[in-house]
Amino acid sequence: MGKKKGKRGGHMEQKTQVKNGGNSSVSDQSGKSDERIEEYGQVLLDEGKGRGDIYLLSIIGEIEGHENLNSGSKTTKYEHVLPKLAQIEDSREIEGVLLLINTQGGDVSCGLALAEMVASLSKPTVSLVIGDSHSIGVPLAVSADDSFIVPSASMLIHPVRMTGMTIGAPQTYHYFQRIQDRITGFIADHSDVPQDKIEELMMNTTDMTKDLGTLLVGEDAVRMGLIRQVGGIDRALRRLREMIRRRRKA
């Protein structure tokens, strides 16, 4: 589960300087921050120092796939998040990433792409499940170096679903199985739950009335080994800053 640490290089953002003092423009930085929150649910956290060393990235609503969802849906667009994660990896200023997760799931391919991107960052990462982390949101929650979940949040593991036309042939079943193996394999590699146990949770018939799967709430997810600790934003940020300090010393 350890990550290969890479060299940091490049600047993610240029700070606007005022001519008479050489300090960053507070109003300009505030405007950029407000724009990031409004458009993408992203913001720099800087301990009031104006440094912006932690990047907060929210994964909310439904993870949008290769087709746009309707305008009334809250979505996380992977085409926005992927390049942002690349910028973070290349930045000399950003030293860590905090993922806030409240998602119902979404597109398997795009969700896994985001999870793999987070898992391959050399910067310290912490995830915090604050509402739900369902379906493909589970790989995202476990992709970080460390993970937290608030007591009332839930995680749902269920089989892969597909919309549209399907062909009633053995190959269809094997195709679904390969997709599920990709998901369960990733979760097993980035958590403390064996792959066969994840598959067992995925195919559980006793937990939900009209579906297969398992719903884990708060402490249940920690006991199962999916998430490391129960805690909120205070503990998640404290842990991330501790990881950043250790990386600086190294």
Q: Does residue 80 have an active-site annotation? A: no
Q: Helices 108-119 and 78-90 sit at what angle, rounded to 10 degrees? A: 10
Q: Give me the catalytic one of 135, 143, 147, 191.
A: 135
Q: Read off the tokens for 114.
A: 């985001």
Annotated catalytic residue 33: no
195, 197, 215, 198: which is closest to 206 by C-alpha?
215
User: Where in the sequence numbering do the catalytic residues fall?
Assistant: 135, 158
